[in-house]
Amino acid sequence: MKNQEITAIFFEIADILEMQNVQWKPRAYRKAAMAIESLSEPIEDVYKKGGKKALEAIPGVGENIAKKIEEIIKTGKLHYFEKLKKSMPIDVEALGAVPGLGPKKTVQLYKKLGIKNLDDLKKAALQHRIRHLPGFGEKTEEEILKGISLAKRAGERMLLGLALPVAKEVKSYLEKSKAVKAAEPAGSLRRRMETIGDIDILVASNKPKTVMDYFTAVPSVRKVLAKGSTKASVWVENNLQVDIRVIKPKQWGSALQYFTGSKQHSIELRKIALKKGLKLSEYGVFKGKRVIASKSEEDVYRALGLPYIEPELRENRGEIEAARHSKLPRLIGYDDIKGDFQMHTTYSDGNNGVEEMANAAKRLGYGFIAITDHVGALAIAHAMSKKTIERQFREIERIQKKFPRLRIFKGMEVDIKKNGQLNAASDVLRKADVVYGSIHHGFKGAERENSNRICKAFENKYIQILGHPTNRKINERNPIALNLDTVFEKAKQNNIALEINAMPNRLDLNDVNSKAAIETGCKLAIGTDAHSTEHLRYIELGIATARRAWAEKKNIINALPLKKLERFLQR
Ligand code: DGT
Ligand code: CA
Ligand code: CA
Ligand code: ZN
């Protein structure tokens, strides 16, 4: 999949051009980048099927950009980009990853202080040379220092939502080989952690050599880092590392258990084995020299006197204790979700219309969706006016008639003001079936202030769901300061659901916080926050987060039967 690679190149081109004060072009590249990022199919396939004309059919892609995409697909490189980078003395990619440092500021830092890379930047910030520049100040300098560590982390771990399609693609490629009996991504990806260090793929085969040759020839491989007789590591696009390990089919279960981890979970299992006079390794559960379990993971856990533990739970957060006492949750399944609570359309900042979203939801087999365009301060993402809302609701009613088996809730995502009021009048709120309250500005408040802001919003009788509760963005922005205990308690009292926002870079609430919310007795609502039909598939990431939070069906309102859901929403 070249989609991510091309997206990154275009964003970087936009940044460089902006630094060089070029007009218009940066916008064009960003627009194209965003369109390519949300494509659901590999752009190579688009090109293969329809050539340059098909590329030009992608929104925001004109003839010039289509030519560049073609060059990248054909040669793996873009001459224009290489030249552009050479013309720039600054490490645009690294500095661009620092939150709050846009292209303009980066250029200023270079011109005034000669800052070319992260090290220069850190030095200058520590020596307080940045705060004196016009437009920067003490606060910005502090933010930059914090941002540097985020940027360094960003270089290391990749979002689950980006790694998952890559892993699935490699898996299905491997499964096409006759030498491969089974192939499964293991490691943090199988546990569905929100970020992934590298992808570990386990293969069962009696012909490891054939598998090695086949794997290192995967089309998306950029560079082979190591290749042995049963192990190999490669880089695919985006500097994402994929490790592969080939084992014998009869060791599948114990090897899958071992390579899924987490390391901490496996260490605890080994302790249990020792207490039973057994030994656990990637090759099996041993009694003396005899293997007593190895074929399936179920066998391995059973040999240790435990029920099967789902991968998402294997973090040594109490799952082994729970397993021993038959107290494991009956995790919500990936098929248990009946709909999606948050999505945007062309009525605010989305790319698709109501009917297109409904069609996409129907294809997913959903029973309901909520259309939740922005309402509030007009500047935020083209928020809707009262007139627009009325027009949209009439359209939803009209479209609803065409979808007898899909309930389309009239919803809105209303901005929570700094004083805790919802930025919409009661007569507007009353007409909606689903009212989200979310914070979209003013992230810097202290813990008390932010917690009060949200608890105040909960007193509004129309709000039903708190959107992206902590406002963190993975690798980009820290969560706002919040007393989550207070917020969860208040949410429970007012019967307000907390969102698991399923956008790859949000996953907010995250796994740990969702688990705490469930333990408090709160309900959770999964919303993809889709801004196009393609984004609806991110629901998988929201469910993964719920599973990592030990959620059962009863904790997640997306799994309620429609009648019960309607009752919940009526309050
Ligand atoms: P990551 O890649 O940083 O997101 O995290 P993981 O969990 O995928 O870790 P990774 O890639 O270093 O190793 C893959 C799996 O292999 C890990 O989940 C458990 C297993 N593993 C690796 N090193 C050890 C070890 O020293 N002891 C044990 N018990 N298992 C290990
Ligand atoms: Ca890994
Ligand atoms: Ca690894
Ligand atoms: Zn929002």
The answer to whether 242 and 198 are in contact (CB under 8 A) is yes
Report the 3 state secondary structure along 416-467: ECCCCCECCCHHHHCCCCEEEEECCCCCCCCHHHHHHHHHHHHCCCCCCEEC
- Non-local CB neighbours of 56 within 8 Å, separated by 6+ positions: 62, 63, 66
Does pLDDT of 394 surpass 70? yes
pLDDT band at 239 (very low <50, low <70, confident <90, very high): low
Q: Which residue did the predictor score with more confidence, 101 or 113?
A: 113
**Shortest-distance Cα residue to atom 23 of ligand 1:** 263
- Residue by residue, DSSP assigns 471-530 as --BTTTBPPPP--HHHHHHHHHHTT-EEEEE--TTT-BS-HHHHHHHHHHT--EEEE--B
pLDDT band at 140 (very low <50, low <70, confident <90, very high): confident
Q: Choose the CATH number for 158-247 among 1.10.1040.10, 2.170.150.70, 3.30.460.10, 2.160.10.10.
A: 3.30.460.10
pLDDT band at 23 (very low <50, low <70, confident <90, very high): confident
Kindly report the average pLDDT of the chain as a whole number. Answer: 93
Q: Which CATH class is domain 252-324?
A: alpha beta
Q: How far is the CA of 381 from the centre of ligand 1 (A)?
A: 41
- Residue 259 CA: which ligand is closest? 1
pLDDT band at 384 (very low <50, low <70, confident <90, very high): confident
Distance of alpha carbon 121 from alpha carbon 115, whole angstroms: 6
SS3 state of residue 309 = coil
| Six token digits for residue 117 | 């890379």
Instruction: Give the end-to-end CA distance of the chain in Å, rounded to a whole number.
Output: 46
| Pocket perturbation via mutation, ligand 1, pick of 263, 281, 312 by most ligand atoms within 8 A of CB | 263
Of the given ranges (126-135, 271-280, 427-436), which has the lowest mean pLDDT? 126-135
Q: How far is the CA of 88 from the centre of ligand 2 (A)?
A: 34
Q: Which residue did the predictor score with more confidence, 224 or 407?
A: 407
The answer to whether 221 and 233 are in contact (CB under 8 A) is no
| Six token digits for residue 26 | 């940066």
- Residue 413 CA: which ligand is closest? 4
Could you state, in order of their start, the residue ranges of all structural domains in the chain? 2-155, 158-247, 252-324, 339-569
Percent of the chain exceeding pLDDT 90 equals: 78
Distance of alpha carbon 218 from alpha carbon 229, whole angstroms: 17
Other Cβ atoms less than 10 A from the Cβ of 237: the count is 17
Over residues 32-50, mean pLDDT:
89
Other Cβ atoms less than 10 A from the Cβ of 149: the count is 11
Pocket of ligand 1 (CB under 6 A): 187-188, 193, 196-198, 200, 258-259, 261-263, 266-267
Q: How far is the CA of 215 from the centre of ligand 2 (A)?
A: 17
Other Cβ atoms less than 10 A from the Cβ of 488: the count is 22
pLDDT band at 255 (very low <50, low <70, confident <90, very high): very high
* Nearest to 296, CA basis, from 332, 333, 257, 328: 257
pLDDT band at 465 (very low <50, low <70, confident <90, very high): very high
Distance of alpha carbon 165 from alpha carbon 112, whole angstroms: 43
**Shortest-distance Cα residue to atom 31 of ligand 1:** 263
The answer to whether 525 and 557 are in contact (CB under 8 A) is yes
Over residues 166-181, mean pLDDT:
95
**Shortest-distance Cα residue to atom 18 of ligand 1:** 261
- The b/e string for 370-387 (b: 16+ C-beta within 10 A; e otherwise) is bbbbbbbeeebbebbeee
Percent of the chain exceeding pLDDT 70 equals: 97
- Residue pLDDT, tens place only, 524-565: 999 999 999 999 999 999 999 999 999 999 999 999 999 999
| Six token digits for residue 282 | 């990637």
Looking at residue 154, its pLDDT comes to 61
Q: Which atom of ligand 1 is nearest to the CA of 195?
A: 4
Report the 3 state secondary structure along 280-304: EECCEEEECCEEEECCCHHHHHHHC
Q: Where are the alpha helices (DSSP H) in 117-186?
A: 118-126, 137-156, 160-175
| CATH classification code of 2-155 | 1.10.150.110
**Shortest-distance Cα residue to atom 24 of ligand 1:** 263
Does pLDDT of 380 surpass 80? no
Looking at residue 41, its pLDDT comes to 85
Q: Which CATH class is domain 339-569?
A: alpha beta
Helix (H) or strand (E) holding 87: none
**Shortest-distance Cα residue to atom 8 of ligand 1:** 187
Q: Assign residue 382 a region: left if phi > 0, alpha if psi is -120 to 50, beta otherwise?
A: left
Q: How far is the CA of 451 from the centre of ligand 4 (A)?
A: 18
**Shortest-distance Cα residue to atom 26 of ligand 1:** 263
- Residue 194 CA: which ligand is closest? 1
Q: How far is the CA of 358 from the centre of ligand 1 (A)?
A: 41
Does pLDDT of 118 surpass 70? yes
Looking at residue 26, its pLDDT comes to 92
| Six token digits for residue 9 | 């190149």
Looking at residue 4, its pLDDT comes to 83
Looking at residue 84, its pLDDT comes to 92
